[in-house]
Amino acid sequence: MELKIRLLLYGTAWKEEKTAHLTETAVLKGFTCIDTANYPTAYDEKLTGDGIAAALKSGIKRSDLFIQTKFAPVWAHRPSKIPFNPHQEIEGQITESVRQSLEHLQVDYLDSLLLHVPFEDDSDNLVAWKVLETFVPHTIRSLGVSNFNLPQLQEVYANATVKPVIVQNRFYKETGFDIDLREFCAERGITYQAYWMLRNNPEILASDILKSVAVKLNVEKELAFYVLILGLGGTQILDGTTNPERMTQDLKTVGEVFGNRERLRELQGDIDEFRQLLSKLSTGAE
């Protein structure tokens, strides 16, 4: 159970009216970590809360779950879908958004809250961070950022009293697979949460290394991709499958590989090869 908390998070974006049912299903299948956002353009945070509440009726405890949400600056919301009053200072916006998240999710604390995207003016990231810090640890246990590049992360990190412990980013070629940013994270114990990998990585999805690991594990290549990213270390996967069979298979495979030193050792050569492929693709050498 502990392993699943660390490695796979159930992603609740774009699920609309199915959000509650899919979240409940994911938790009942064994996902212990849930990712949402107070960002109605892409998430229904209230229905995520309904799904969690329904799953908790089965006897799973709130403390068994890791519930993560996000605050997005005004510019990032669709204008008709800004959940808080945008005509107030950043402090008021964040305070209102955190209160809404607690209400939507039907909880009295959040395990993690991420700054969803940088502000238009990077100096406002620091203003927001100082506000977010006032909620730690009583209301928010840990803080992180999302869609930040390395200089933006470094600036927040350098100025923070409560350091960011999570970065959630698109894992794709356009950002060089965040190789430098992940190194910065690894040196500081910051967990890197990868998303977008199945949507925008045609070269990797067609690669021999993915095919070979898929055959070795007897899984779909998408799941082999998850395993290889997790094999890089210090990483978690945002898994937003809508398919209950995939939920079961993803949890089972990740549990088997990362719960067994021998199986992981057998994959070490593949993980090294995958690392080299990322490096080549990021420099355009292939």
How far is the CA of 219 from the CAs of 71, 126, 216, in angstroms?
35, 43, 8
Among 20, 238, 277, 278, binds ligand NAP (CB under 6 A): 238
x/- mask, ligand NAP, residues 177-216, rule CB under 6 A, reads ------------------xx-xx-----------------
256 binds ligand NAP (CB under 6 A): no
Nearest distance from C-beta of residue 197 to ligand NAP, angstroms: 6
Nearer to ligand NAP, 98 or 219 (CB): 219
Nearer to ligand NAP, 74 or 92 (CB): 74
250 binds ligand NAP (CB under 6 A): yes
Looking only at residues 98 through 137 of this chain, which bind ligand NAP when binding is defined by CB under 6 A?
116
Looking only at residues 217 through 236 of this chain, which bind ligand NAP when binding is defined by CB under 6 A?
220, 222-223
242 binds ligand NAP (CB under 6 A): yes
78 binds ligand NAP (CB under 6 A): no
x/- mask, ligand NAP, residues 146-175, rule CB under 6 A, reads xx--------------------x-------
Which residue has the closest beta carbon to ligand NAP?
Answer: 11
Nearest distance from C-beta of residue 131 to ligand NAP, angstroms: 20
Contacting positions for ligand NAP (CB under 6 A): 11-13, 35, 116, 146-147, 168, 195-196, 198-199, 220, 222-223, 238-243, 246, 250
